[in-house]
Amino acid sequence: MKVAFGLLLLWLSQMIAPAQSPLDRLERIELFGHTYVRLGDWAKTYHFEIAWPPQSKDVYLTNRSNHLVLTIDSRKAELNRVTVWLSVPIAQHNGVLYLSPLDLKSMIHPVFYPPKTAAGAKIKTICLDPGHGGKDPGNNGGRTQEKSCTLLLAKEVRSLLNKAGFKVLLTRNTDSFVEKLDRPDIANRNHADLFVSLHYNSAEAGGNGARGVETYCLTPPSARSTNTRGEVGDTRIAPGNIQDTRNALLAYRIQRTLINKLPLEDRGVKRARFAVLRTATMPAVLIECGFMSDPAEAKRIFDPAFRTRTAQAIVEGLLAYKRMVEQ
- Measured from the CB atom, the residue of 252 and 274 that comes closer to Zn ion is 274
Phi, psi of 13 (to 5 degrees): -65, -35
Q: In angstroms, rounded to a whole number, what is the distance separating the alpha carbons of residues 37 and 27?
A: 6
Smallest distance from the beta carbon of 227 to Zn ion, in angstroms? 13
Smallest distance from the beta carbon of 166 to Zn ion, in angstroms? 24
- Measured from the CB atom, the residue of 109 and 147 that comes closer to Zn ion is 147
Q: Is the dihedral of CA 258, 263, 266, 270 positive or negative?
A: negative
Is 141 in a helix, a strand, or coil? strand
In the chain, the amino acid numbered 203 is A
- Measured from the CB atom, the residue of 276 and 318 that comes closer to Zn ion is 276
* Residue 53 neighbours by CB under 8 Å, 6+ apart: none
Q: Quick one: which of 137, 85, 276 has its CA closest to 195?
A: 276
Q: In angstroms, rounded to a whole number, what is the distance separating the alpha carbons of residues 95 and 89?
A: 16
What is the phi-psi region of residue 230: left when phi exceeds 0, alpha when psi lies from -120 to 50, beta otherwise?
left
Q: What dihedral do alpha carbons 146, 151, 155, 156 form, nearest 10°?
A: -10
* Residue 277 neighbours by CB under 8 Å, 6+ apart: 184, 197, 216, 217, 218, 238, 240, 247, 284, 285, 286
Residues 208-235 as b/e (b if ≥16 CB within 10 A, e otherwise) read eebbbbbbbbbbbbebbbbbeeeeeebe
- Measured from the CB atom, the residue of 89 and 290 that comes closer to Zn ion is 290
Output the CA angle 101-216-326, nearest 5 degrees: 75
- Measured from the CB atom, the residue of 2 and 135 that comes closer to Zn ion is 135
Q: Measured in Å, how far apart are the chain's first and last C-alpha atoms?
A: 41
- Measured from the CB atom, the residue of 138 and 206 that comes closer to Zn ion is 138
Smallest distance from the beta carbon of 200 to Zn ion, in angstroms? 6
- Measured from the CB atom, the residue of 100 and 201 that comes closer to Zn ion is 201
Smallest distance from the beta carbon of 205 to Zn ion, in angstroms? 9
- Measured from the CB atom, the residue of 131 and 268 that comes closer to Zn ion is 131
- Measured from the CB atom, the residue of 105 and 300 that comes closer to Zn ion is 300
Smallest distance from the beta carbon of 51 to Zn ion, in angstroms? 40
Residue nearest to Zn ion (CB): 199
Binding site for Zn ion (CB under 5 A): 131, 138, 199
Could you give the residue ranges of the DSSP H alpha helices within the chain? 2-16, 22-25, 39-45, 101-103, 109-112, 146-163, 182-189, 203-206, 244-261, 275-278, 295-301, 304-325
List the beta bridge partners of residue 125.
Answer: 167
Residues 177, 134: contact at Cβ < 8 Å? yes
